[in-house]
Every structure is written in structure tokens, then in C-alpha cells.
Amino acid sequence: MANTRGRRRRFGAIRRLPSGRYQARYPGPDGVMRPAPFTFETTADADDWLAEKQTEIRRGEWRDPDAGAVGFRAYADKWVEERELAPLTEDLYRYLLDKHLTAFADLDLDEITAPRVREWRAERLRSTGAKTMTAKAYRLLKAVMETAVDDELVTRNPCRIKGAGKEKAAERRIATVGQVDALAEAMGMRWRLMVYLGAYGPLRPEELAGLRRKDIDLDTLRVRVRAAEPERMNGRRVQGETKSEAGTRTVVLPAFLHRELRWHLESYVEPSPDALIFVGERGAPFRRSTFGRKWRKARQHVDGLPEGFRFYDLRHTGHTLSTRSGATLKDTMVRAGQSSEKAALIYQHSDDDRQQEVAAGLDATVRRARGAASADQPREDPSGTDLARGE
């Protein structure tokens, strides 16, 4: 006969409520009696539910129903703090939490369900069209919830949308040699070398920001990339390591940059070995916002430049020109300081002699392009550099 008066059963207990429905309770592995989160229409339904809980306990699959009652935002903030992230990565995650994952901020972890995640993603794409940022936010949400699964706070990751975290890479744009020259001239004497090192180094913006006089060997035309100084969202620069282990490298520059490099060192760099190579008009480290305004203005003076051409696209220009000059993929990856677990084995044999050959090939390619463009009409910049001959 059904237990309708609260009599204890072999596992759990069922009692009839004044409403006529039935309540079930069971002892967890910790001995605490836990009621079902809902009531049942019949004792058979309640008995089936108790049997499921007993099976979960026997198989070791039982989860404390109160474990997931942890606020998502507090848990996500702690998740970010515990990971020793690079400054820019931490800034990105904070931004995503503040701007793109607010729909989950007031929810407990166990309240974030697969339907809610699908609804959030669809709404973000529909209202903003921001596919890239939505993919980044989804990946962060999935990573946080995966850790919650490992911590046994939720039983399953609710982020199960196939391909939702993938970003479609935008088509990489390149400039011609003439367009790089035009950009350098439009940026002005203080910043022209930065344009050339971004293209023909090819150095990342944060690597350029961290360059110091001691990193430059004018006689051998070598630049030692030792560190990176990215600018955070609060405007402060942070000194740190390069993007990857391969980022710490020596770059051999093409010979046509000798006068550009010498002119810049003589004109804008303090004599101290630790003096920054690139500083603003007042001698302070340049700001990304200020440089960005100059860059956008300079682009307007360059005919045929791809729409929205970024400073970072100069790196792809350098990759392309190096390849056309005879460099192998291994050579260009070493030159650009790129690596992965696989690349570490593939690219480690591009030695210094080979890098000099790559620089020489790049030098010849640029000289030919300049010569074809200017024909017999060489033009000189204010530093006295003959851009047609590269002297």
C-alpha cells in the first residue's frame, strides 16, 4: 500500500499534502534529507523519482542540487582571476563579461540551460550582427561552464551549439610596396620607421612599442625583439613577454632600411640604451588612440589601399613579399615570431644565415618595385633618403 502518512520507506519517504499531491524526500550521501523540487500527482510517480535518485547515488552520479546555486558572474570573475592571463586577454574577457554575457550575470550556474544559451546567441546575432564578438563570448561562456562541470557544480555543459565558437577569419589585406611608402610618408617622419618595421620586420604593434635603443644593431641591421608592451583598455602599457616563445627573436632587416633606421635613431631616440625607439611628440610612450587617429588620416592619402586597411595588415604584406622573394613558410614564420606546438618543430631550423638571405631577397623585391614605379624620377624624403635607389 502507498505511503500516504509519511511512513518511512526502504529509501526515502512519500507523504500526501493537503492539496492531494504527493511530496517525496530522500537522504543524500551526506545524510541530509532532500525534498524533490516539485510534487507528484500519484505515489507511483513519486516512487519512480526516488528510484532514480537511489540509482544516481549507487552509481556515483548524484549531484548536490544546491551545488549549482552559485552566481555565474562571481564564478566567472574568479575563473578569470585564477588563470594568470596575459593582460590583453584578461581585458578581453572582462569586456566580454561586461558587454556580451550580461544575460547570465544574475543567474546561478544551474540556471544556465542549453535553451537559454541558444536563445542568448540568437538574440545577440539578431540584434547586433556581431558574429566575431558573439563567437568569442560563446567560447568564454563554454570554458567557464566546462570548469563548473569539473567542479561538480553542474552536471553538463549547456554550451552545445556546434560551430558557435568558431570565427570566420576576415580576408587578409595586403598593400603594394608603393602603398607602404605612401603610408610611411603620410604618417610623417616620426612614425615612418614604424610603418616600415611593421611591414618589413614584420613586427607586431606591441613589439614595436617595447623596442629600445639597445635592441637595435645599426651596423648589422638587426633588431632584437625581447619583449612586448601592449596597451590595456585603461590606457596603461604593461611590460611583458612576447606573444609566444618564438616571438623572442632577432630580425634581420633589408638593407634599404639602413638610412631610415639611422635617421630615426639620430632624430627621435634618446642616447640611453633603455630609451624607447618610438615615443610621442612629448617624449612619452605613444598612445594607441593617438596613433590610431594618425593612421586613419594617413590611409585617406593612399590611392588604392584596401578598405579598412589596419596597421596589423602590414605584417601580412611583409609575409607576402617575403614569400615572393623566395622565403619558405618556415622562414617567414621565424621572421614574424609565430609558433605553435607543431610549428616549434617545423620552424626551428631557419638559422641566421637563412634569415640574412630572406632579408636580402626582400630588399631586392622592394628595390625592383620602387624602381619600376619611379622609373628615372627618384624622389627624396626629408631625411635625404633616395627612395628609388634605397640609398
Question: How would you class 8 by CB atoms within 10 Å of its CB: exposed for 0-12, middle for 13-18, buried for 19 or more?
Answer: exposed
Q: What is the pLDDT of residue 2?
A: 45
pLDDT in tens, 147-165: 999 988 888 999 999 999 9
Residue 92 has, within 13 A of its CA and on its CB side, a CA count of 16
Sheet holding 33-35, edge to edge: 5-8, 13-16, 22-27, 33-35
| Residue 124 grid cell | 545577440
In this structure, of 39-48, 221-230, 259-268, 295-304, the range with the lowest mean pLDDT score is 221-230
Is the whole-model pTM more than 0.75?
no
pLDDT in tens, 335-351: 767 555 444 333 344 55
pLDDT in tens, 219-267: 999 999 888 887 777 767 777 665 555 557 888 999 999 999 999 999 9
| Residue 315 grid cell | 605584417
Class of domain 72-150 (CATH, top level): mainly alpha
Q: What is the pLDDT of residue 37?
A: 84
Q: What is the pLDDT of residue 227?
A: 81
Residue ranges of the domains in the chain?
Answer: 5-59, 72-150, 177-374
CATH number at 177-374: 1.10.443.10
Q: Contact at 8 Å (CB) between 332 and 347?
A: no
How far apart, in whole angstroms, are the C-alpha atoms of residue 297 and residue 280?
A: 17
pLDDT in tens, 195-221: 999 999 888 888 898 899 999 999 999
Q: Which neighbouring-strand residues pair with 240?
A: 228
pLDDT value at 138 more than 60: yes
> Stretch 128-148: mean pLDDT, rounded?
94
Q: What is the pLDDT of residue 3?
A: 47
Q: Contact at 8 Å (CB) between 43 and 7?
A: no
